[in-house]
Amino acid sequence: MTTKTYVPNPVSPRVLGHHWSAKADRLQSATGVLMGVFLLFHLHFESSILLGKDAFYHVVHFLEGSIFSDDGKGFPIITQIISVFMLAVFVLHALTALRRFPTQLGQWRALQSSLNTIRHSDTRIWYFQLLTGAALFFLVPVHLFEMIQAPNIGPNMSAERVYHDNTWVLYALLLPAVVVHAVFGLYRVAVKWGLTFQRHKLRRFAHGLMIYLMVLGIASLMCYLLIGSELTLPVTPYSPS
């Protein structure tokens, strides 16, 4: 006759899980989706410079509430408010994501071993998110603080910042990191919360979206560099003729 002996679990219930852990997961996903969607709109708004200075000028001032201002130029403080809000969202996302960041040498070795032996696509996607997230931890605050301190946006002022202030270096590092992190992040949220079960098709779409956003961002950056190279200092804000 076989008897079963039940031994109390020596592990603390807090180690097995906590209701705050589930809330942190939801908060991480929500803030990630918010930033991912914001990036999609942001890159397309920025790319309006490809249609000419007038197009970018009108897009910027429309987003800054030009229809509500007497001079039709909008309110630059809106850019500051949005930047402060996105900085807060970024900090909240980073705090919830740091829970899963490997902090010990043994964890990094286990991760590398898993990547080399299992060859699992979603594990590699998580690894890329880990690397790009670490880079964005330093790059994103610099960009947002820049927008908070100098909210004046326009064809000439933005081009001056990119070309004469050499912020193209920041954007060249920020663009690939944020595109990869955001697109893969949206993919992982869709899979994690059961929004789709077609992982292969969704991965193909994610790869295509990354290529598209990279081309769009690089083209916009090159356009700002070209405009900036033609400006003479001191730069005056652009006004449509």
pLDDT at 129: 87
Determine the Cα–Cα distance for residues 60 and 241; give it in Å rounded to an integer: 17
Q: What residue spans define the domains of the chain?
A: 24-229
142 or 152: which carries more pLDDT confidence? Answer: 142
- CATH of the domain spanning 24-229, picked from 1.25.40.10, 1.20.1300.10, 3.30.70.20, 2.60.120.1600: 1.20.1300.10
Determine the Cα–Cα distance for residues 83 and 182; give it in Å rounded to an integer: 18
The length of the chain in residues reads 241
In which band, very low, low, confident or very high, does the pLDDT at 91 lie, cut at 50, 70 and 90?
very high
Q: What is the mean pLDDT of residues 102-124?
A: 65
Whether 152 shows a pLDDT value over 80: the answer reads: yes
Whether 40 shows a pLDDT value over 70: the answer reads: yes
Amino acid at 158: S
In which band, very low, low, confident or very high, does the pLDDT at 9 lie, cut at 50, 70 and 90?
very low
Sequence-distant (≥ 6) Cβ neighbours of residue 74 within 8 angstroms: 60, 61, 62, 63, 64, 65, 66, 68
Q: Are 170 and 139 in contact (CB under 8 A)?
A: yes
Q: Are 111 and 124 in contact (CB under 8 A)?
A: no
Determine the Cα–Cα distance for residues 68 and 228; give it in Å rounded to an integer: 30
pLDDT at 125: 83
Helix, coil or strand: residue 118: coil
In this predicted model, what pLDDT tens digit does every residue of 45-58 receive, in sequence order? 999 999 999 999 99
Whether 99 shows a pLDDT value over 80: the answer reads: no
What is the enclosing helix (H) or strand (E) of 41?
helix 19-46
In this predicted model, what pLDDT tens digit does every residue of 158-211 receive, in sequence order? 999 999 999 999 999 999 999 999 999 999 899 888 777 788 899 999 999 999
Lowest mean pLDDT among 100-104, 191-195, 222-226: 100-104
21-30, 34-43, 64-73, 106-115, range with greatest mean pLDDT: 34-43
In this predicted model, what pLDDT tens digit does every residue of 229-238 receive, in sequence order? 999 888 888 8
Q: What is the mean pLDDT of residues 122-150?
A: 89
Amino acid at 60: V
Q: Which two tokens stand for residue 134?
A: 């670490």
| pTM of the model as a whole | 0.83
Lowest mean pLDDT among 18-27, 42-51, 78-87, 196-205: 18-27
